[in-house]
Amino acid sequence: MNVPQYDVAALRRALAEDPRTAELGVHVRIRGDQLFLSGDVACEQRRAAVAEVAAEHADGLVLHNEVHIVGAQPPTEQEDLR
């Protein structure tokens, strides 16, 4: 039986446990025949790796890679905790 909730869980486990990705912070949603990935990763190669692993679990689904590259510029302000 094809149950989208189990497909989401299987893909999230794969993204966490597959050494190509090791990403615990990528969200997975299946809506109809659309598969959406979201979250932040460190670089473009990892964004592509997430899509590669997801594609192996996306049989019959249209994959949307909405994962972003995390911001890593120096801050322009500080928070005063005095």
Partner 1 sequence: MIRVAAVGDVHLGVDTRGTLRPAYENIAEQADLLLLAGDLTRLGTVAEGEVVADEFAGLDVPVVAVLGNHDHQSDAEEKIAALLVDRGITVLEGSGTVVRINDVRVGIAGAKGFGGGFAGKCGHAFGEREMKAFIHHSEDIAEQLRTALLGLTADVRIALTHYSPSADTLRGEPPEIFPFLGSYLLAEAIDDSATDLAVHGHAHYGSEAGTTAGGVRVRNVAQPVIQAAYRVYTLEPSAAVPE
Residues that bind partner 1 (CB under 8 A): 19, 22, 24-25, 27, 39-43, 45-46, 70-75, 77-82
Q: How far is the CB of 26 from partner 1 (least distance, A)?
A: 9
Helix (H) or strand (E) holding 69: strand 62-69
Q: Which is nearer to partner 1, 4 or 39 (CB)?
A: 39
Which sign does the torsion angle of CA 31, 49, 23, 74 carry? negative
What's the farthest any 2 CA atoms get from each other in the chain? 58
Q: How far is the CB of 27 from partner 1 (least distance, A)?
A: 8
- Mapped onto helix, strand or coil, the DSSP state of residue 62 is strand
Q: Which is nearer to partner 1, 59 or 77 (CB)?
A: 77
Q: How far is the CB of 4 from partner 1 (least distance, A)?
A: 17
Contact, 63 vs 35, CB < 8 A? yes
